[in-house]
Structure 1
Amino acid sequence: MKILIARMNHETNTFSPVATPIAAFGGDGPAWGEAAYRENKGMRTAMSAFIDAAEREGAQLVTPVSASANPSGPVAADAYDAICDAIVAAAPGCDAVMLDLHGAMVAQQSADGEGDLLARVRAALPAAPIAVALDLHGNVTQKMIDNADVIVSFKTYPHVDMYETGEHAARLLLDRMHGRAQPVLAWRQPPLLTSTLRSASAEGAMHRAVEAAREAEAQGMLAVSVLAGFSLADIPAPCISVVVVGNGDAAAADAVAERIARQIWNERGEFVYRSAPLEASVAQAAQLAQDADKPVLLLDHGDNCMSGGTCDTMDLLEAALAQGLTGMVSGPLCDPQAVAALIDAGVGARVTLGVGNKLAREGTGPRAPFMATGVVRAITDGEYVITGPTYTGQRAYMGRAAVLDIGAATLVVTERTHEPWDLGVFESVGIDPRRARFLLLKSRMYCRPVFVPIAAALVECDSRGVTGSDYDLFRYERLARPVYPLDADRQWHTN
């Protein structure tokens, strides 16, 4: 048996000005061939699980590429072509395909990055079964449904079940190949834009939907996935989906998809997040810190790295300084120009320079950089190893990093946008985040498993950047209307 296994992950924020060239997919571009295998073997990605499953089967593995980039703007045309061409070129002669995809990729020439790839793979291997693992925030399309035999998504957000999802998808594919199962797909997509902060799987309506999916699996469905979608993509339907893999009975799978989708639609108001004013959030954090012996987290979800944020929006820091907060650690802030200037100045130098506010934001005019005066405390290569629970063991790349102490706050400035996956974001540059009074993080969710245990409290802060929760900030042109909550009286009727 010869199995094609590949990884192509990108969550595209079409409103983000952050470019996505080929170099963004990894430390310096994708891993190709044998390097793609090594990058995933022994790790906790869905591709890792595919590799393990195929090796247990005694199969010959073909691993043309592993490409994963932080969320950002549309993928460059040449980058998308290079990754897809490598996968399609490896297809001839393969008996099965296992793809670790995100599900919300938009390229400059494709509004349906995964669907277009799957159509090409299907054309190259008409008879070979195709299994796909997707992120919980995938935007499912008809083309994806038409060209895959098995689709399984993460059930957790923050995502800690990537490997388990790959394991699940691989098991169903192999069961099909050995005649133990007959996977059939059913799909529903209510016209509902969900706020990412309302897609956490441990609470609220999303939790109830995921639990309904688990119950349906326990009652006989091969897989049931609830995909919250990624609404910061100007495509026809960046909406929530339910995908069901039934066992030979298409009508039963369809009924499950309809039932769970109807449950979601009936609770649609709970999938919308409404932010407090930034100044009120900062004041709340100040109050919480009065008697705290641990840091208070201020999560800048309006400039969230893992939704395509620029990580250079300085609104939160400016608001915190205006209210007199001290003992702050802020970062990672992405500003390659500032990093270069700090490196040129050297450790120990006192400098004044503009930091952040350099990339245009949807719905707002140009902003003046934040003028920072302070002492350069450290300069590093910006690399560290993630300790988990997400991407455990993988090397992280922030680009070159510099630490600027401005008195009331210590700023970690990097060349790349970077999610604070790990305490290593700060420890790798000589900062102990436990000693901060306030931690200002460019994050929404992925920091929580690591930083909440060391914190006294958490406050969500909306800086009204390109990942803000207010849909009025964004100009949708391709979005199919009506859609909830933009059209509050929207009704949904299915066949």
Structure 2
Amino acid sequence: MRIGIIGLVHETNTFAPGRTELCHFQDEWIVGNAPFIKRYEHTRTFMGGVLSAAAKLDVEIAVGLYAAATPSGMVTRDSMDSIIEHLVDSIPDPIDGLVVMLHGAIVSENFDDVEGQLLRRIREKAGSNLPVAITLDLHANISPQMVQLADILVGQDTYPHVDSYERAIEAIYLLYRCMHSEIRPTRSYRHARILVAPQAMVTDKGFMKEIIEAAFEIEKDVRVLNVTVAGGFPFSDVVDAGMSFVVTTENDLSLAESYAEQLCQLVWDRRGEFEVTGFTAEESVALGVQSAVAPVILIEGSDNVGGGSPGDATFLLKHLVDAPAKSLIVIHDKEAVTEACRLGVGALFQGLIGGKTDTFHGPPVWISGEVRVLFDGKYRHIGPYMTGHSADMGPSAVIETDTVTVVLTGKRVGPWDVGHITSVGLQPNDFKLIVVKSAVAWQTAFGPLAKAIIQVDTPGCCGFNLHELPYEHIQRPIYPLDDFE
């Protein structure tokens, strides 16, 4: 048996500034068995899970193209056309099954449903009889086309995402059974008509935990092959954005439909539990300073790099500069990094940083401090999220002022691993306040260290107040944008 492997991962924020080009995928553009194995073997990623499962099943792998880019704005038409052509052309032949690693929320100038379009092209080349399994992020905006064209859909069960490895193994095992005609996957898809902010999707507590546990209960039915709960990605303004469910059974459509409807009813009846609230930037800094414990995590989810934000919002930085507490913040500012490198370690840095991508995330802020560290920005994840995965912040600099330490990065990288700051010689416990530009994924890096957390409510293209975003294409009515009472 021979399994083909391809993948395309990008989380597209249609409200984010700028456009995503082909060059943004080049840092993770992997073709062929040897490069794929070298980069992902023994990592706790979807890719590492695929390799592990294939080895356990003793099946041959044939890797085509796997491409990924950091979440960002809309992908350009020409770039997406080129990527899809490369992906489809790279599908190995012959193969007995194909696994396609996807995110589920890619949007381009020419396709609202990129994953659906890619699967359609795959079917045109490989035919309707080839068993195809796809893996998905928990924030996937699943479309009817995706459900129709893939035999098996397996989404993450955790947020922060710490089960990618296990879900890939599950997908490969189901694909293997499908290849041997042991199962006949039958799927039912339901959209909940609810937009959920990422901050409300934490799966180890609250309502989202109950939803995932309800899905696990359904999976105990021996007739059920998989239940995928997709919280959706509310920052993609597309028709299918929002929470949805896919129940896959062994050739029992009515059972799949019944379970999918059951999950939809559960979330609809309690949709108010997805509400998120927070404090202004000024209030958040004041509360952090007053806290009797440290470190205090200030969650700036509106500038969530993992959701496509620019990573250079300055609403909190503005107040940290004069705050009577030692604080830490990471700001994406390639221009400021270049200046710090020109000055050199030990020199005085004076200038405006952040707020340079657009006007939605605050104006640049003046800082004056010493250049303490210059760094190439490369490290490996040592925490539970994508353990072993390579990260690259680009050329980076640490600027230390009297009150705030700023890590300036040349590339946008979210705080998904503690290496985000330890790689430049900083330790979390040395700071009273730590700003994380993340909604939830920061917990894999700083969760065990946090003594207190403060949810910050500031403007941004990843803000949890969804009423502030200029939706144009999403299917209406939908909660909470519309009044269903």
Q: TM-score with structure 2 length normalisation?
A: 0.95
Answering whether residue 258 of structure 2 is matched by residue 263 of structure 1, we say no
Bigger drift between 44-53 and 201-210 goes to 44-53
1:384-403 alignment to 2 at 5 Å? 384-403=379-398
| Correspondence for 2:305 | 305
| Residue pairs, 1:75-94, within 5 angstroms | 75-91=75-91, 92-94=93-95
1:98 aligns with 2:93: no
Match of 2:333 in 1: 335
The alignment partner of 2:121 has SS state of: helix
After TM superposition, give the deviation of residue 266 of structure 1 in Å: 0.8
CA distance in 2 between counterparts of 1:104 and 1:37 reads 26
Read off the aligned partner of 1:128 and give its amino acid letter.
L
- Equivalent position of 2:276 in the other structure: 273
Q: Name the SS for the 1:393 alignment partner.
A: coil
Residue of structure 2 in register with 1:159 after alignment: 161
Mapped to 2, the partners of 1:207 and 1:29 lie a distance apart of: 32
TM-superposed CA distance for 1:29, in Å, is 4.5
Q: 2:113 aligned with 1:112, yes or no? A: yes
Establish whether residue 315 from structure 1 lines up as the match of residue 310 from structure 2. Answer: no
Pairwise CA distance, 1:18: 4.7
Distance in structure 2 (CA, Å) of the matches to 1:118 and 1:83: 13
For residue 393 of structure 1, report the CA deviation from its aligned partner: 0.8
CA distance in 2 between counterparts of 1:29 and 1:19 reads 18
Match of 2:435 among 392, 417, 440: 440
CA distance in 2, matches of 1:408, 1:123: 59
Question: Could you tell me whether the CA contact under 8 Å between 1:4 and 1:90 is conserved in 2?
Answer: no
Which position in structure 1 is the counterpart of 2:460?
465
C-alpha change, 1:361 and 1:203, in structure 2 (3 Å) is farther
CA distances 1:164-217 after superposition (whole Å, capped 9, x unpaired) = 111111111111222322211111002111111001111222111111100000
Q: One-letter code of the match for 1:411?
A: V
For 1:18 and 1:32, locate their aligned partners in 2 and report how far apart those are by CA, in whole Å: 28
- Contact 1:77–1:107 (Cα < 8 Å) also in 2: yes
- In the aligned structure 2, how far is the partner of 1:423 from the partner of 1:50? 26
Alignment-derived partner of residue 232 in structure 1: 235
Does the 8 Å CA contact 2:197/2:466 hold for their aligned counterparts?
no
What is the count of residue pairs matched by the alignment? 481
Which stretch of the first structure deviates more once superposed, 139-148 or 471-480?
471-480
Contact 1:339 1:402 in 2 (8 A): yes
CA distance in 2, matches of 1:114, 1:93: 23
**Counterpart for residue 346 of structure 2:** 348
C-alpha displacement of 1:422: 2.0
Which of residues 211, 214, 227 in structure 1 aligns to 2:213? Answer: 211
SS, match of residue 73 in structure 2: coil
Shifted more, 33-42 versus 303-312: the winner is 33-42
RMSD (CA atoms)? 1.7
Match of 1:486 in 2: 481
Structure-2 residue corresponding to 1:66? 66
Structure 2: distance between partners of 1:286 and 1:101: 42
Match for residue 147 of structure 1 among 149, 152, 165: 149
- Aligned to 1:120, the other structure's residue is in SS state helix
Moved more, 252-261 or 270-279: 270-279
TM-score, normalization: structure 1? 0.93
C-alpha spacing 1:119/1:80, structure 2 compared with 1 (3 Å): same
Q: What is the aligned counterpart of 2:364 among 365, 369, 373? A: 369
- SS of the residue corresponding to residue 64 of structure 1 reads strand
8 Å contact from structure 1 (residues 382, 414) kept in 2 = yes
Unaligned runs of 5+ in 1: 491-495
Q: 1:18 to 1:382 in 2, by over 3 A?
A: farther
Question: What 5-or-longer segments of structure 2 have no aligned partner?
Answer: none
CA contact (8 A) 1:65 1:83 kept: no
Q: Aligned residues: percent identity? A: 33
2:250 to 241, 247, 252: 247
